[in-house]
Amino acid sequence: MEKVRIDKWLWAVRIFKTRSLAAEECNKGHVIIGDVKVKPSREIRLGEKVRVRMAPIERHYLVKQITDKRMSAQLAVGFVEDITPPEQLALLNAVKAYGFEYRERGSGRPTKRDRRMLDKWKEEEC
């Protein structure tokens, strides 16, 4: 197998949970190959570097093998290599550690509990 649609490959190697979600992210311009935002129908080739924007960071992947069949997470490791820069991963870990510093768009206002946790965190920082 030489070529596969990018949305199908992203789904098969478990970067996205569903193929429709992978296609939606491509349409939004969150999937980039070679400084070009790609459509879901774009065919992926061996050795290409794929950038996927997943808030709050941009993850980088190297295509090691081509597949269009979804597989277990253990097998998917042989088809894709995560080459995300360490500073991006550090940013992700910092956001996860502080919890509510970054809020997903559309997640609504913080609850009373969220607000208290934010206030407590900000007091500790000072």
Asked whether the beta carbons of 52 and 101 are under 8 A apart, the reply is: no
**What DSSP letter does each residue of 21-84 carry, written as one string?**
HHHHHHHHT-EEETTEE--TTPEE-TT-EEEEEETTEEEEEEE-S---S---HHHHTTTEEE--
Do residue 3 and residue 57 come from a single domain?
yes
pLDDT tens digits, residue range 2-47?
A: 789 999 999 999 999 999 999 999 999 999 999 999 999 999 999 9
pLDDT tens digits, residue range 41-77?
A: 999 999 999 999 988 889 999 999 999 999 999 999 9
Whether the predicted model's global pTM rises above the 0.85 cut: no
Do residue 48 and residue 100 come from a single domain?
no
Domain of residue 114, residue span: 86-126
